[in-house]
Amino acid sequence: MKDTLRSLWIWTSAVILIIIWFPMLAIVRLFDRDPVRYRTGRMFRRLGAMMTKANPLWTLKIFGETISDVRRPYVIVSNHQSMADVPIIANLPWEMKWLTKIELFKLPVIGWMLRMSGDIPVDRKNKRAAAQAFVKASRYLSQKCSVIFFPEGTRSPDGLVHKFADGAFQLAIREQVPVLPLVVEGSRDCLPKRSWKFGKPKEILLKVLLPVETVDLNSGDTENLRDRIRNLIIEQIAEWRGVDPAEVDALQLPS
C-alpha cells in the first residue's frame, strides 16, 4: 500500500510539473530563432531534471567528463535500464536531440512538447521513416547540436547490456563527429519495465566517458567502433558492481 501511495504521489507531481512547463516551453519556442531550437530543447530537458529532483526516491550522482563546448556536436550513446533514464540524462547541462518512438509524439501535451523541442520521431515499422530520422539527426549535427541514441533499442529486461545496433555509429562515422558514451547504473529498479510503480529509494549513477573520435574512420570501421563503445560501457558498469565484465554482457552469458 505504501508503494502504491508513494508512486501515485510521484506521478501526480510529474503531471503538475508538465502542466506548469507546457506554457513556459511554448513561450520559449515562440522566441527561439535558433534553427535547432537549442533554448527550447534545453527548457524541455530541465523538466526532466526537475522531475528527478522532485522524486524523493532518487539520489543522482553524476561523474566523468565535463563538456566545455556545449555546441560541439556529438553522437551520444547510452545503455538503457528503464524509463527513468530519460529524465536522469536530462540533468546533463547541454542540449541533445532525442530519437524517440513515434507513438510518444501522438500523445497530447507530451507529444506537443517533443515537437516544440525538435526531438526526432522514429517509426520502427517504417524503414523509410527511420531513414528520414537519421537524415534529421545528420542535419542537427551539421548545425552543432548533439543527438542521443539508446543503441540497445529498448530497455534492458535484466540489467545487462544487450546487443547494440549499428545506426548511431554509422552516423558518427559518416558525419565525422565523436561518439560520447554515457553509462547509467541503478535506474532499472527505480521504474521497472511494464510497471507504473516506483521501486525503493535508490542511488543512481550517471557517468560521461571520454569522447571517442571518428576522424579517419570509414564505414568498414562501424562494428569495431560499436563494440569498443559497448565494451567501455560494460566495463564501467562491471566496475561499479564489482564483478567481471562478462557478468554484465548479455551476449557472453549462456542462453
Instruction: Extract the C-alpha cell encoding 172.
Output: 558518427
**Distance between CA atoms of residues 129 and 150, nearest Å:** 18
Q: Which CATH class is domain 2-247?
A: alpha beta
Give the pLDDT confidence of 185-225 residue by residue, as tens digits. 998 877 766 677 777 768 999 999 999 999 999 999 999 99
pLDDT of 163 over the 70 cut: yes
Query: In the chain, what percentage of residues exceed pLDDT 90?
Result: 77
For 85-120, b/e burial (b = at least 16 CB within 10 A) is bbbbbbbbebbbbbbbebeebeeeeebebbebbbbb
pLDDT surpassing 80 at residue 3: no
Q: Which residues have CB under 8 Å from 55's CB, separation 6+?
A: 10, 13, 198
Query: Which residue intervals of the chain are DSSP H helices?
Result: 2-31, 38-54, 85-89, 102-105, 110-117, 127-142, 167-175, 222-241
Around Cβ 38, how many Cβ atoms within 10 Å?
A: 20
Where do we find the cell 565535463?
66
Contact (CB, 8 A) for 132 and 73 = no
Give residue-wise pLDDT tens across range 89-134: 999 999 999 999 999 999 999 999 999 999 999 987 887 878 899 9
Predicted TM-score (pTM) of this structure: 0.94
Mean pLDDT of the chain: 92
Spatial neighbors of 157 by CB under 8 A, at least 6 apart, are: 193
> What pLDDT sits at residue 168?
97
**Identity of the residue numbered 127:** K
